[in-house]
Amino acid sequence: MLFPTHVLSNIEILEYANLIGLPIDCVAKNQVPKTIPKNTGLIVNLQDIGESGSHWVCSIRKNQKCLYYDSFGIDYIPKQLQNCLINSVGRENIYLNDSNHQFITSILCGYYTLKLCKSILRDGMTFKQATEQFTDNPSMKNADIADNLFI
Domain residue ranges of the chain, discontinuous segments joined by +? 10-146
**Fold held by 10-146:** Adenoviral Proteinase; Chain (3.40.395)
Confidence label for 16 from pLDDT (cuts 50, 70 and 90): very high
Q: Kindly report the number of other CB atoms within 10 A of residue 36's CB atom.
A: 22
The pLDDT mean for the chain works out to 94
Do residues 58 and 50 touch, judged by C-beta distance below 8 A? no
Backbone angles phi, psi at 51, to 5 degrees: -90, 170
pTM (two decimals):
0.94
Quote the pLDDT of residue 149.
82
